[in-house]
Amino acid sequence: MNLAESPKLEDFGHDVWWIILIKVVGIFAFLVVMTLFTIWYERKVVGRMQHRPGPNRVGPIGLLQSLADGLKLAFKEDIMPKLADKAVFFIAPVISTVCAFTAFSIMPLGGMVSIFGERTPLQLTDLPVAVLLVLACGGLGIYGIVLGGWASGSTYPLLGGLRSAAQMISYEVAMGLSIVAVFMTAGSMSTSEIVAAQANGSQQEIFGSTVTLPGWYFLMLLPSFLIYFISAVGETNRAPFDLPEAESELVGGFHTEYSSLKFALFFLAEYINMVTVSALCTTLFLGGWRAPAPITTWWAGANEGWWPLLWFTVKVLILLFVFVWLRGTLPRLRYDQFMRFGWKVLVPINLVWILLVAGVRVAANADNTVRYAIYGGFAVLLVGIIMFWPAKKQVEPASIAPEKLPEGSFPIPPMDLVVPPSPRTKRIEHAAAAPSATPEQGE
């Protein structure tokens, strides 16, 4: 694989001003187009999953539907509720949107390209602490939601904002822990270096035998990948974790009182966040902008020039498909189940997994005594977990024996009530028992 095309951290920060301008506008346009496309894509996919065609009126195969919806929103009345806290109500969607856009600035979209003769990485910028920027923007984006909910001065948005804040901070813990193993393996927090680290398979010694592991981290760090993706769904408030805007309970959640372009901004931020977490997932676990293995074997140039942008977008779209797939498949969780899952399942598994990865890596480079000590430690940990695993409570099966209710109770039907068959069932059973009999009499 050609690593010469892979940008180093030193390659960033040398662009002339108009290259920066082109890149900034390019990223902005990419995100807006991705949002418009993702909304259409989601509606189309979920439509197909429910045996309906989805949007197909505006533009070819309905592609312009979300653009039309967005334009329509601009011409809707902008409502400022009487009880709203004016300034905060005004600023909340701005916070959400700005944080969503800014988080994308360190995504590596490709290797070195040449724009009007200038050689530059196909990435807005990169920092030694790039991934932390995404986390910081995610943390600040929560303000948009919680403030929007609070400032509306209404019950549903308040509850939605409240739930959302607690949900996002809980899943941020799981997300933050899940990427530790990636930093450990890549030895860097810069996105371009993490992508470069996944370019080649690594020689790893496991239990004495040397094996070549594939480069992409989602294979080597599968638990991290799964936890990251689950917490990404929680972090972006998507189904089945879309409790902040559970329609059946909270109408629209934090944005119930928002209308017109302010609502559109929240919508935009939500979809950009989806794209961002998918892009980060691609970068951290799916080899970033590099072409998947079978393509590079018969086409050496797959990672050169502008092609990486295609691989990157395809990978992001596949992850977005999983988002939609989850939405189309799983029912919404109850809030207590959701929080229990985050705090009692994802967090401990994550911590144990980090120690496991660290232990295996230390053991690979250590002498035998240390190695046996570490493996012994894991064995003790394993036994401990098995010993202290909370036993599942035996639930007594409910009896259907008629219960003696005290005098004056509200009358209830007996538990062993047998419903007499309906006339229709009787008729069908009758016809099935005697197929040769005369056909059903007309009604």
Residue 126 Cβ vs other proteins, minimum distance, rounded to whole Å: 6
CB neighbours of 258 closer than 8 A, spacing ≥ 6?
A: 93, 148, 152, 266
Which 89-108 residues touch other proteins, going by CB under 8 A?
90, 93-94, 97-98, 100-102, 104-106
Rounded Cα distance, 360 and 441, in Å: 77
Near other proteins in 324-363, by CB under 8 A: 335-336, 339-340, 343-344, 347-348, 351, 354-355, 358-359, 361-362
Of 80 and 300, CB closest to other proteins: 80
Window contacting other proteins (CB under 8 A); options: 111-119, 147-155, 310-318, 428-436: 147-155
Q: Who contacts 266 (Cβ-Cβ below 8 Å, separation ≥6)?
A: 93, 96, 97, 144, 148, 254, 255, 258
Measured from the CB of residue 4, what is the shortest distance to other proteins in angstroms?
Answer: 21
- Among positions 262-301, residues that touch other proteins (CB under 8 A) are 262, 264-265
Binding to other proteins, residues 43-82 (CB under 8 A):
74-82
Pick the stretch among 169-177, 307-315, 317-325, 424-432 that binds other proteins (CB under 8 A).
169-177
Using CB under 8 A, which residues numbered 225 to 254 contact other proteins?
251
Stretch of 23-31, 199-207, 215-223, 294-302 lying at the interface with other proteins (CB under 8 A): 23-31
One-letter amino acid for residue 324 of the chain:
V
Q: According to CB under 8 A, which residues from 177 to 196 bind other proteins?
A: 177, 180-181, 183-184, 187-189
Taking CB under 8 A as the rule, does residue 166 contact other proteins? yes
For residues 116 and 133, the answer to whether their CB atoms sit within 8 Å is no
Nearer to other proteins, 39 or 100 (CB): 100
Helix (H, G, I), strand (E, B) or coil at 115: strand
Give the contacts of 125 (CB within 8 A, at least 6 positions apart).
12, 13, 105, 106
Do the Cβ atoms of 269 and 93 come closer than 8 Å? yes
Select 369 or 441, whichever has its Cβ closest to other proteins. 369
* Burial (0-12, 13-18, 19+ Cβ within 10 Å), 187: exposed
Size of the site for other proteins (CB under 8 A): 114
For other proteins, the closer CB: 241 or 327 = 241
In total, the chain counts a number of residues equal to: 443
Distance CA 310, CA 302 (A): 10
* Interacting residues with other proteins between 306 and 325 (CB under 8 A): none
DSSP type of residue 128: T
Side-chain-facing half-sphere of 430: CA atoms under 13 Å? 12
Q: Which helix (H) or strand (E) holds 203?
A: strand 202-206
Name the segment binding other proteins (CB under 8 A); options: 17-25, 42-50, 279-287, 320-328.
17-25
Site for other proteins, residues 371 to 430, rule: CB under 8 A = 374, 377, 398, 405-410, 412
DSSP 8-state class, residue 441? P
The least CB distance from residue 406 to other proteins, in Å, is 6
DSSP category for residue 419: P
